[in-house]
């Protein structure tokens, strides 16, 4: 008989993320913070360290291939639904501003990160220093998206700009990494990278056009007999696009999933498909995604020197991104408050930072000692972003109304009850037709 502990792990993750989220909300924090904390608590960082200390045995949840894959699937579904909720026209409108924000948001952290490394380690060569800067460039859009969704701010000017900037940021980060590794001596063809990015845009335009045509044809030809096939095909399309963007164009899978979401939302049955991914996300995939981030953390034993560096890295990562993106937004005519909110939304770092760090280590450009500080920087940014972002919208809610928020809440509640009622009727209908 095989080992069944994975069932218990899933059980603990799903239950604890929910309980921690409820506690978070009671404490006026975004629920995302609770989900992150749950992983941190039940993982090696807290429970593992405690049990090791007191009982001599490390008893905690550990990352596994299954959890990692499900977490990847989770972030793909988060970006897919974000894509389905994004209005292309509005995103286009935010495109220019987004580009400026992304650009300043890459240049400032790159410079400040390199400067920090130079100050901290006089022996470091320029390329190593720039690599630490490069680690700070890429925003992790998924946590910001989830927080903006939770606050109901996805479709605002700030939300759209942040999203556009974070998407462009990923591409800039990629180019940045390519240039640096190119300079560092590896044989990377810059032209090829640009060609691939251009190819990607041609690809999604073509696929989007074909998908739209096909769905319009299918909508005409077929009776609406069986609606289930639409979400199923939509999901398969999302997975294909995620795979294709990574494998064919070297662009992050989540960007492919996002594009798939936008394409589906614009075609017939888009809204119906979008309505179906809510349950799968909150029941299984999103909790695992957030908890898994916490699980990956093992607090390393660090020298005094490294602790100082860690603190400095955290401060620089927050200030540089907030400042860089804030300046960009301000240049584009945003108010001070809006610029601050856009900057905050971009502070989150994620797996791209780890990928860059891993690349640097494999090229012997940065020492493995720096992995600890980088992981801590990611965690701190990830936890403070939702908290401060929520707080930054606070005043605004007071103006337009906490009552509004309450209203939305009550409406959702009504819709839930309505849905429950619908289900009852449906089963009644089904049972009536049986013998």
Q: Smallest gap, in angstroms, from Cβ of residue 322 to its own copies?
A: 23
Q: What is the DSSP string of 53-66?
A: HHHSS--S----HH
- Of 203-211, 230-238, 340-348, 382-390, the window that binds its own copies (rule: CB under 8 A) is 230-238
Q: Could you tell me if 106 and 130 are in contact, meaning their C-beta atoms sit under 8 angstroms apart?
A: no
Residue partners of 412: CB distance under 8 A and separation at least 6: none
d(CA 54, CA 58): 9
Q: What share of the chain is helix, strand, coil (3-state, %, to 5)?
A: 80, 0, 20
For residue 370, what is the DSSP state?
G
For residue 281, what is the DSSP state?
I
- Of 272-280, 316-324, 328-336, 373-381, the window that binds its own copies (rule: CB under 8 A) is 272-280
Closest to 133 (Cα-Cα) out of 183, 189, 175, 177: 177
Q: Smallest gap, in angstroms, from Cβ of residue 3 to its own copies?
A: 9
Q: Smallest gap, in angstroms, from Cβ of residue 243 to its own copies?
A: 4
Q: Does the footprint of its own copies cover residue 295 (CB under 8 A)?
A: no
Minimum CB distance to its own copies smaller for 195 or for 422: 422
For residues 404 to 423, the per-residue mask of contacts with its own copies, x marking binding by CB under 8 A and - elsewhere, is: xx-xxx-xxx-xxxxxx-xx
d(CA 206, CA 219): 20
- Of 36-44, 241-249, 324-332, 364-372, the window that binds its own copies (rule: CB under 8 A) is 241-249
Q: Does the footprint of its own copies cover residue 276 (CB under 8 A)?
A: yes
For residues 57 to 96, the per-residue mask of contacts with its own copies, x marking binding by CB under 8 A and - elsewhere, is: --------xx--x---x--x--------------------
Q: Smallest gap, in angstroms, from Cβ of residue 303 to its own copies?
A: 31
Q: Does the footprint of its own copies cover residue 122 (CB under 8 A)?
A: no
For residues 123 to 162, the per-residue mask of contacts with its own copies, x marking binding by CB under 8 A and - elsewhere, is: -----------------------------xx-xx------
Q: Does the footprint of its own copies cover residue 192 (CB under 8 A)?
A: no
User: How many residues contact its own copies, by CB under 8 A?
Assistant: 80
- Of 35-43, 240-248, 323-331, 334-342, the window that binds its own copies (rule: CB under 8 A) is 240-248
d(CA 270, CA 81): 11
d(CA 328, CA 142): 21
Minimum CB distance to its own copies smaller for 49 or for 276: 276
Q: Does the footprint of its own copies cover residue 14 (CB under 8 A)?
A: yes
d(CA 174, CA 180): 10
Q: Does the footprint of its own copies cover residue 396 (CB under 8 A)?
A: yes
Q: Smallest gap, in angstroms, from Cβ of residue 344 to its own copies?
A: 18
d(CA 161, CA 329): 9
Minimum CB distance to its own copies smaller for 118 or for 405: 405
Q: Could you tell me if 346 and 144 are in contact, meaning their C-beta atoms sit under 8 angstroms apart?
A: yes
Phi/psi for 103 (5° steps) reads -65, -50
Task: Calculate the alpha carbon distances from 317 to 136, 248, 366 in Å.
Answer: 6, 32, 18
Q: Does the footprint of its own copies cover residue 253 (CB under 8 A)?
A: yes
Q: Does the footprint of its own copies cover residue 371 (CB under 8 A)?
A: no
Q: Footprint of its own copies on residues 309-368 (CB under 8 A)?
A: 355
Residue spans of beta strands (DSSP E) within 112-188:
none
């Amino acid at each position: 008989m095989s080992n069944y502990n994975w069932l218990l792990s899933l059980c603990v993750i799903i239950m604890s993320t929910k309980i921690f989220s409820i506690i978070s909300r009671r404490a006026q924090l975004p629920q995302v913070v609770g989900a992150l904390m749950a992983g941190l608590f039940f993982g090696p960082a807290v429970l593992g360290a405690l049990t090791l200390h007191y009982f001599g045995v490390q008893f905690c949840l550990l990352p596994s291939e299954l959890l990692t894959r499900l977490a990847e699937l989770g972030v793909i579904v988060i970006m897919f639904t974000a894509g389905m909720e994004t209005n292309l026209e509005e995103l286009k409108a935010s495109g220019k501003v987004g580009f400026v924000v992304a650009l300043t948001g890459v240049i400032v952290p790159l410079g400040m990160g390199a400067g920090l490394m130079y100050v901290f380690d006089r022996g470091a060569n320029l390329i190593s220093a720039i690599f630490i800067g490069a680690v700070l460039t890429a925003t992790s859009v998924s946590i910001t998206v989830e927080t903006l969704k939770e606050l109901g701010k996805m479709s605002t000017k700030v939300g759209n700009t942040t999203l556009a900037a974070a998407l462009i940021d990923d591409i800039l980060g990629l180019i940045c990494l390519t240039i640096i590794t190119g300079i560092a001596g590896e044989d990377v063809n810059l032209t090829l990278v640009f060609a691939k990015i251009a190819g990607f845009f041609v690809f999604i335009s073509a696929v989007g056009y074909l998908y739209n045509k096909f769905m319009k044809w299918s909508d005409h030809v077929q009776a609406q007999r069986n609606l289930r096939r639409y979400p199923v095909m939509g999901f398969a399309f999302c997975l294909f696009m995620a795979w294709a963007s990574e494998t064919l164009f070297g662009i992050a899978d989540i960007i492919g999933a996002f594009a798939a979401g936008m394409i589906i939302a614009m075609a017939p049955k888009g809204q119906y498909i979008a309505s179906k991914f809510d349950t799968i996300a909150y029941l299984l995939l999103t909790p695992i995604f957030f908890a898994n981030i916490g699980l990956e953390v093992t607090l390393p034993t660090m020298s005094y020197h490294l602790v100082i560096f860690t603190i400095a890295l955290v401060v620089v990562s927050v200030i540089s991104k907030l400042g860089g993106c804030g300046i960009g937004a301000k240049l584009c005519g945003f108010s001070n408050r809006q610029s601050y909110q856009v900057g905050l939304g971009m502070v989150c770092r994620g797996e791209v930072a780890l990928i860059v760090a891993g690349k640097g280590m494999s090229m012997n450009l940065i020492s493995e000692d720096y992995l600890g500080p980088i992981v801590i920087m990611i965690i701190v940014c990830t936890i403070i972003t939702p908290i401060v972002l929520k707080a930054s919208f606070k005043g605004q809610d007071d103006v337009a109304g906490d009552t509004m928020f309450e209203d939305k809440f009550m409406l959702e509640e009504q819709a839930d009850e309505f849905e429950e009622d619908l289900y009852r009727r449906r089963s009644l209908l089904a049972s009536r037709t049986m013998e």
